[in-house]
Amino acid sequence: MDWYLVVFEMIDMRSFSNLWFWIVLAVIWSSTSHWVIGVPYDMVERARRHDGQARVDLENLVAIYANRILFIVQEAGAIVVALTSAFLTALAMIGFIYAVEFAQALFLLLFPLSLVGALSVATAHRIKKGESTGKALWRRLKLHRIYTQMIGIFSIFVTSFWGIAQNASAY
């Protein structure tokens, strides 16, 4: 028997009918909305409620992650954008022009995450330019989380409808 057939029989490559795809989608968006530019959101809420050392810890951690994001953008931003764009374009073409469901699923997972990445860069810039302490920081991180959740909800909505359409056409 051909190994290619064995692998594809064991792993259902029809992504939208696979339970694991939907579990991965849920875990990705749950994690993405919890980790705001690398900082767990419960830490933001704790710092907002308890002030003191929790606030200092939050401000320090946010400064570290914001500086890290901005360093990566400064050093390799153009390369990252070019490679990400090329990869997403290839996935979109393979998925939607050549009708490869696995590529469609990857595109529908990764494209919205690239938007969250761009949002993280914008948030890091704003934090660096003065929204790095107190209420301004909490507001910025909360807005970042809300925008991330909006992107996630829209992404899940679009992915669900596309998956329903794919599964309906398969039968």
Q: Is residue 68 part of a domain?
A: yes
CA neighbor of 54 nearest in space, from 123, 124, 134, 120? 134
- What domain range is 74 assigned to? 50-160
87 domain-assigned: yes
**Which range among 117-121, 138-142, 157-161, 164-168 shows the weakest confidence by mean pLDDT?**
164-168
pLDDT for position 18: 83
4, part of any domain = no
Do 12 and 102 form a contact (C-beta atoms < 8 A)? no
9, part of any domain = no
Domain count, the chain: 1
Residue 58 has pLDDT above 80, yes or no: yes
How many residues are there in the chain?
171
Mean pLDDT of 99-125: 96
On the question of pLDDT at 50 being above 60, the answer is yes
**pLDDT 10s digits, 159-168:** 999 999 888 8
Residue 129 lies in a domain: yes
Average pLDDT value for the chain: 91
Q: Is the pLDDT of residue 10 over 70?
A: no
